[in-house]
Chain A
């Protein structure tokens, strides 16, 4: 009997040798005259165990990892004989790190062949679209609203309201745009889902098209993600062949098609209006709002622009899951969030769970602390524009409002862990420097403020008139926060101010003195 073996083709697995391991397994099978079939999947998101290799058995898929080329032959023998092995992890679905998650959006990621529509359908794929095709647009919008889904790109705007605005706009053309310009360091959920389950993104966009009356969509993927670009393009071709994309979808009166456009290395293009400018073939200069993209978006037409994860959440919701989705979460943050644990962390990866879990549980319990074994000193939540939190704030629940109340943000759900060797003044400088390099240049607080910020933090680090310069940085941050056109200049103050507030000693000032001054 042919053994079915699963090896990830996710960039995060390939980067640590998954391709070589797949090849070594084939070679070893050849030597043993063992019949095997290797299925390349996405990643389950347990990156410290990649390359993770699984074999199908009557009792479920048994996982091994992290497997090196040198281990391939012995792992294959253990698979063939169902014998013991040092790298054997047991049934994949029972691995505690995976089992304690609530995988609604990532249910198929790492499980199926991302190139196969048949595999997608066999794992509940296209059920949301099938149901959407039986509904009136108003009913689709009602489901999205009832789910409580908020934009997963970072701003957290209610998706149902956004869609309804576009649905109510009248125009000769409307567009669906997927923001796959996932530039935040510490985030990789968009990349993972595009590589591991691209049809779920396509299905979500197709449903959006039907709901608002748009017949065409674009997925704007950053150029740093060549594997995702390839996977999405392959999936679009497969979906067209399947009849679930293109004219008269599934025999209905609805038509929807889409294409991938590739970014060119500008971080600011993750901002929605800058992204639209870039899609139109221009410099990624931020637009002033209003008009909102929902009224005047791509090519001046009403446009739904959502993050990859927002679209990827839609199929579950439309497959009758609106209430089930809304039942997860806390406060106004409903549903699940694919959280990404990154940086100096022992168990890094993708952890999808209901809102409400605390930062401490995520870092210590699930993440297992630092990879270096040193104490965790700071975590940056929400990318380069997110605040640095010290251990004292680890009781913060993962929730849009709870983070905002502590001058932070959850952003796109990335958490970067730093150990006690971090120099927080250096990190504050980096935040300003990054903003200076990536600023589109349209507004003064961002363009000039970030450069002055770098210079002033440098003065502090050199010990020049420290107290005065700290006051200057704080004033500058205030100007940037309230005077910038978009989140790049507006949120760069978060990492800077949080570093100053929680890690004052790194700026050459005794923390006690400053607390007294406050």
Chain B
């Protein structure tokens, strides 16, 4: 299976910046676009964004590192996010998160050694009346139980 993302390419990076750099307050928009293209925000993109937006490298680095969403390295092929907020905790989410971690042999926030699966916590998908919930590569799943979490983990490992 091939990655859905392009490898880092300076010309492509410059193109992405040029698409958005006339927007007011474009930093987050560009960082999101970089991540959508490359799967993470490659380090060489930081000075390019800084130059385009007349910011310092430190300022762009500051924004990049402030937000949980932005990756500094590629994630696994599949990203499984488990909602760990209160509504899901109340509905048995803790035990399911422990189960997913055990099945994958990794902790929340880590990627499996074969780079197939990244397991992450997420603080609220807004599916609090269908808790516990999760998101696999952008697909939302609610009313999780042991069978459903096992199926999600197995799907992510394929």
With A and B bound together, what is the CA distance between A225 and B122 in angstroms?
A: 12
With A and B bound together, what is the CA distance between A190 and B25 in angstroms?
A: 24
Of chain A, the residue at the smallest CB distance from B68 is A265
**Given contacts A14-B140, A188-B128, A344-B91, are A416 and B66 in contact (CB under 8 A)?**
no
Q: Do A264 and B32 touch (CB < 8 A)? A: yes
Q: Does B125 contact A (CB under 8 A)?
A: yes
Q: Which residues of B contact A14 (CB under 8 A)?
A: 140
Q: Which residues of A contact B92 (CB under 8 A)?
A: 344, 372
Q: Do B126 and A225 touch (CB < 8 A)? A: yes
Q: Which of B72-80, B97-105, B129-137 contacts A (4 or more CB under 8 A)?
A: B129-137
B145 to chain A, nearest CB (A): 12
A8 to chain B, nearest CB (A): 12
What class of interface size applies to chain A in its complex with B?
Answer: 35 or more
Q: Do B86 and A11 touch (CB < 8 A)? A: no
Q: Which of B28, B69, B126, B133 contacts A187 (CB 8 A)?
A: B126
**Given contacts A15-B140, A16-B143, A282-B27, are A185 and B128 in contact (CB under 8 A)?**
yes
Q: Do A264 and B67 touch (CB < 8 A)? A: yes
Q: Do B62 and A418 touch (CB < 8 A)? A: no
Q: Which of A235-243, A320-328, A335-343 contacts B (4 or more CB under 8 A)?
A: A335-343
Q: Do B87 and A416 touch (CB < 8 A)? A: yes
With A and B bound together, what is the CA distance between A282 and B25 in angstroms?
A: 8
With A and B bound together, what is the CA distance between A103 and B157 in angstroms?
A: 44
Q: Do A265 and B69 touch (CB < 8 A)? A: yes
B28 to chain A, nearest CB (A): 6
Q: Which residues of A contact B130 (CB under 8 A)?
A: 12, 15-16, 47, 50, 348
Q: Which residues of A contact B122 (CB under 8 A)?
A: 224
Q: Do B91 and A343 touch (CB < 8 A)? A: yes
Q: Which of A50, A264, A342, A350 contacts B131 (CB 8 A)?
A: A342
A153 to chain B, nearest CB (A): 15
Contact with A along B99-129 (1 / 0, CB 8 A): 0000000000000000000000011111111
Q: Which residues of B contact A45 (CB under 8 A)?
A: 129
Q: Which residues of B contact A283 (CB under 8 A)?
A: 62-63, 66
With A and B bound together, what is the CA distance between A142 and B99 in angstroms?
A: 56
Q: Which of A188, A281, A438 contacts B126 (CB 8 A)?
A: A188
Q: Does B88 contact A (CB under 8 A)?
A: yes
Q: Which of A48, A226, A299, A341 contacts B138 (CB 8 A)?
A: A226
Q: Which of B59, B62, B90, B140 contacts A343 (CB 8 A)?
A: B90
Q: Which residues of B contact A430 (CB under 8 A)?
A: 86, 89
Q: Does A353 contact B (CB under 8 A)?
A: no
Q: Do A15 and B28 touch (CB < 8 A)? A: no
B80 to chain A, nearest CB (A): 14
Contact with B along A70-85 (1 / 0, CB 8 A): 0000000000000000
**Given contacts A15-B133, A48-B129, A264-B69, are A186 and B28 in contact (CB under 8 A)?**
no
Find the residue from B24, B63, B122, B123 having the highest chain A CB count within 10 A.
Answer: B123
Q: Does A490 contact B (CB under 8 A)?
A: no
Q: Do B128 and A186 touch (CB < 8 A)? A: yes
Q: Which residues of B contact A329 (CB under 8 A)?
A: none
Q: Do A15 and B53 touch (CB < 8 A)? A: no
With A and B bound together, what is the CA distance between A186 and B125 in angstroms?
A: 10
Q: Which residues of B contact A342 (CB under 8 A)?
A: 87, 90, 128-129, 131
B111 to chain A, nearest CB (A): 18
* Cβ < 8 Å to B, chain A residues 252-300: 261-267, 278-284, 299
Q: Which residues of B contact A50 (CB under 8 A)?
A: 130
Of chain A, the residue at the smallest CB distance from B143 is A16
Of chain B, the residue at the smallest CB distance from A440 is B66
With A and B bound together, what is the CA distance between A416 and B85 in angstroms?
A: 10
Q: Which residues of A contact B151 (CB under 8 A)?
A: none
Q: Which residues of A contact B62 (CB under 8 A)?
A: 282-283
Q: Do A418 and B129 touch (CB < 8 A)? A: no
Q: Does A349 contact B (CB under 8 A)?
A: yes
Of chain A, the residue at the smallest CB distance from B63 is A283
What are 8 A-B interface contacts by the 8 Å CB criterion? A15-B140, A15-B141, A184-B124, A261-B29, A283-B66, A343-B131, A348-B130, A430-B89
Instruction: Known A-B contacts: A186-B87, A265-B69, A343-B90. Give 10 more (CB < 8 A).
Output: A11-B140, A12-B127, A225-B126, A262-B29, A263-B69, A265-B68, A278-B28, A341-B129, A348-B131, A419-B90
Q: Could you list which residues of chain B lie within 8 angstroms of chain A, going by C-beta atoms?
A: 24-29, 31-32, 53, 59, 62-63, 66-70, 85-92, 122-131, 133, 138, 140-143
Q: Could you list which residues of chain A lie within 8 angstroms of chain B, going by C-beta atoms?
A: 11-12, 14-16, 45, 47-48, 50, 182-188, 190-191, 223-227, 261-267, 278-284, 299, 340-345, 348-350, 371-372, 380, 384, 414, 416-419, 422, 427, 430, 434, 438, 440
